[in-house]
Structure 1
Amino acid sequence: MANSTITPAGQPPAGQTSNFVDPVYDGTRFLVVNCVFLPLAVMALAVRTWTRMMVVRSVSWDDLLNYGLGKHMWDVPLDHYTPRFLKLNVVAAIIYCAGTGFTKVSVLIFYLRIFPSRGFRLAVWTIIFIAIGYNVASVLANVFACSPIAGSWDITITDVTCMNRPVFYFANAGLGIFTDFATVLVPIPWLRRLQMPLRQKIAIGVMLAMGCFVGVVSCIRLFSLYILLKSTDLTWATTNALMWCTIELNLGIIGGCITAMRPFVRRYFPRLLGLSSSSGYNGYESGSRKYGHPLNSIPRDQPDFSNRSHQYSTRLRGGVDNESAEYILPEPRKSGGAEGITRTVEFNVQNT
């Protein structure tokens, strides 16, 4: 109900009065989305961190609603709207821009670790450059949106100049959608050439599908921004846009962490990858005799297959035993022995 001692943040439309006691509230769905997706993102990040630090032991670079949100502005006291709500709105925009940028760059750096092709790396570095550039610009634009800076949240400042927010929001969203779909599409031509088990293809398919879904969510968010910019009821209309921002950011975090989960699944849930529960992560037990050859030093003459088994070795780029990003280096052996960590590949030959 109205209270003459409280100034509302906005004037109610004709036929309605301000209600500061039990106003209409639309923030529940935003709270539900956060309660669902935030724990999922935190768990995914925790599994990724545990996998990097404890399983593969390889850590890499790729690794408040009561101030007006969800209520009509005429049901929000002015001192809640400014500076509290508007200041939190700026902070949330900064965190969102930085978070989406880090997520995309993390996935793209992961690509660099598993695909050695020069053309592919050039394409990925181009997307990284675009993602870093527009996300850094977005963070700075949110910080310095108004001059003076406090003009972004303090409406009592009269002499203030602000940027054209609609143009900025749509440009930011457009670049975000472009990098979302580019991140998903760029590895597809190279992935088609890889020979891998069906379960791994399914896992990669799930990761790319989630990336596509993030792009779709970005498109929905763009539409919600259009509605927000057309509305004068900021505290009410912001709820829908922030909800889609939350879904997009948390799905991006989950998708980025999936790329590092295979060693974790292999150790603790091997049956999901078609492995027996007795298969160890650090190696496979074998009673056969072993013969080792450094990479590119296998004798030119035909190996003697009269023995029961042979063992050949390969080296991992960078000397890191990281199952999620490994490929064979075509480098000759230097004098003094092979360098880096050696991975052994065993095969048995049955004489008939």
Structure 2
Amino acid sequence: MALHDAKSFAKRGEQLENIVIAHFVLSWLFIALRAYTRIFVKPNFGWDDLTMIFAGVIYTIYCAFILYIEGHGGGTHVTSVAQLSDLTKRAVGSEATYIATVMMLKVSVSILFARIVVKRWQLVVIYTTVAISCISAAASFFYCLFRCGPDLDEYVVQQLSSLCTPRVLDRVFAYQHAAFAFSTDCVFVLLPIPLLWNTNMSRKSKCSMGFILSLATLGCVCSAIRFRYVDGLTQTEDFFWNATNISIWSTIEPGVGIMAGCMATLRPLMMCAQVKIQTLRSPRLLFAKKSHSVEMGMTSSNEERGGSKGADAVKFSKDAGLASERHQDGGRARTSQSTGRGSSTECILSPSDENHTFGQCESLELDRTNTWASVSPNPGDALPPLMPTLHYMKKRLHNEV
């Protein structure tokens, strides 16, 4: 047995404790953000969210086991039988909860992908992959609990008496679980490629969506690194010293997987936050834009109003001049043009309209004057040069009739 000083013991224990606490806090932070996004930002809470929360609960139990082991001699050379028996039961519990956490994580990710795929073969691939992963995890789970018998209190005694399963079988179950977990992650990493290949999206959007979907399988890298330390689970001699590295990566793999799986669903929350940040950063710019738009609207309305005033004034003067010329020449044609209130159409009284009289068009002319008086900024200045001509025309017409 190799001898180590107290400094190396403290360093290994402190490193493991910091990793466990950091991943535990971050995992639940991302789970909370995911639940908030799926409930309040974009209501779409489903089974993938529920299984992710369940995976977080199991991961919490795993972290509790690891912290207990680290605080009671984990990462050291344990020689006391009583201490070894106590820590062994927690070690079995931590390994079983690790397997259950990874299994629930794979189920959650598979449901997430199943909600967005459109082709049948993609569903078959997802269901087949997650089914194989669950079978492998279930076999490893029960093997971990019963490899030395159903009584965990006798686990150490059975182990010291060489009554447990052989180390070769331990390696088979340990490596097969790690291999299937890694293979499942690889399938989920490659699945977004055919999923987004034929979609009507720009290349930038495809890369963005592919990156978001691949975040859910970021634990693939951790699974590959964990392969190196799997043999530490099968070394029964000085187990708690040799299993420190595998404990570290067994903590990182599901923690990173939970965070990545939740991060893949936070796009609506990030977009909402981006809009709010832009609003808080540039309130003056928004106010200036609104003020500018209001001013432009008022200017355009004033220009349109002024243009209609000028057009009506020209039409009214032309009508008055035309009527005076015709009556001065002795003609009997009673034709006038006028504009109704609030409209831009013209009223033209033709000679064939015998039922119409000049008084009707005269009333429209007076109504036009009132309209100008109500629209003009200075009502008293509404067409003053034309008023004497209008009175003169009325007087001549009455005299002739």
- Shorter-chain TM-score range: 0.5 to 0.7
Equivalent residue for 1:285? none
Deviation at 1:201, TM superposition (A): 3.2
CA distance in 1 between partners of 2:277 and 2:163 (Å):
59
- TM-score, normalised to structure 1, is 0.65
State the partner residue of 1:305.
none
Written as runs of structure 1 = structure 2, the 5 A alignment for 1:27-42 is 27-42=13-28
Give 1:96-111 correspondences, 5 Å limit: 96-111=98-113
**Pairing of 1:246-285 with structure 2 (within 5 A):** 246-270=251-275
Q: C-alpha displacement at 1:154, in angstroms?
A: 3.4
| Residues 165 and 215 (structure 1), Cα distance of their counterparts in 2 relative to 1, 3 Å cut | same
Structure-2 separation of matches of 1:270 and 1:122: 39
Selected match of 1:150 from 146, 149, 152: 152
Does the C-alpha gap of structure 1 residues 159 and 32 become closer, same or farther in structure 2, counting only changes over 3 Å? closer
Which of residues 167, 180, 202 in structure 1 aligns to 2:208? Answer: 202
Aligned ranges 1:128-167 → 2 under 5 Å: 128-150=130-152, 153-155=155-157, 160-162=163-165, 164-167=169-172
13, 17, 24: which is aligned to 2:9?
24
Deviations along 1:251-304, one digit per CA (max 9) or x if unpaired, are 11011112221222233334799xx999xxxxxxxxxxxxxxxxxxxxxxxxxx
1:60 aligned residue: 46
Rg larger for: 2
| 1:116 alignment partner, SS class | coil
Q: Which runs of 5+ in 2 are unaligned?
A: 50-67, 284-401
Could you say which residue in structure 2 is the equivalent of 1:223?
A: 228
Q: Label 1:196 to 1:80 Cα distance change in 2 as closer, same or farther (>3 A).
A: farther
For 2:36, the equivalent position in structure 1 comes to 50
What's the CA shift string for 1:164-195, capped at 9, x where partnerless? 31221111111111111112112311222234
The residue that corresponds to 2:82 in the other structure is: 79
Equivalent residues in 2 for 1:164-243 (5 A)? 164-196=169-201, 198=204, 201-202=207-208, 204-208=210-214, 211=217, 213-229=218-234, 232-243=237-248
Between the aligned partners of 2:271 and 2:41, the Cα distance in structure 1 is 10
**Which 10-residue stretch deviates more, 157-166 or 95-104?**
157-166
- Deviations 1:180-223 (CA, angstroms, capped at 9, x unpaired): 11121123112222344636733531552562x42222122111
2:241 maps to amino acid: W
Distance 1:251 1:149, change over 3 A: same
Separation of aligned partners in 1, 2:282 and 2:165: 61
SS of the counterpart of 1:43? Answer: helix
Query: For residues 200 and 186 of structure 1, what CA distance do their matches in structure 2 show?
Result: 13
Alpha-carbon spacing, 1:116–1:152, altered in 2? closer, same or farther (3 Å): farther
Q: Which has the higher helix share?
A: 2
Gaps in structure 1 of 5+ consecutive residues:
1-11, 279-352
TM-score, normalisation: structure 2: 0.57
1:149-168 Cα distance to aligned partner (Å, 9 max, x none): 32673326859443631221
**Secondary structure in 1 aligned to 2:74?**
coil
* Number of corresponding residues: 257
1:94 and 1:142 in contact (8 A); partners too = yes
Aligned partners of 2:78 and 2:240 also within 8 Å: yes
Secondary structure of 1:147's aligned partner: coil
1:133 alignment partner AA: I
**Cα deviation code 1:208-244 (max 9, x no counterpart):** 2562x42222122111122553572211111110100
Q: In structure 1, what is the Cα distance between the partners aligned to 2:219 and 2:121?
A: 26
What is the identity percentage for the equivalent residue pairs of Structure 1 and Structure 2? Answer: 25
Secondary structure of 2:156's match?
A: coil
- 1:162 alignment partner, SS class: coil
Instruction: State the Cα distance separating 1:113 from its structure 2 match.
Output: 0.8
Tell me, yes or no, if the aligned pair for 2:77 and 2:238 is still in contact at 8 Å: yes
SS in 2 for 1:190: helix
SS at match of 2:234: helix
Q: Is the 2:149–2:155 Cα contact (8 Å) retained in structure 1?
A: no
How far is the alpha carbon of 1:99 from its aligned partner? 0.7
Q: Is the 8 A contact 2:193 2:210 kept in 1?
A: no
1:24–1:115: structure 2 CA closer, same or farther, 3 Å change rule?
closer
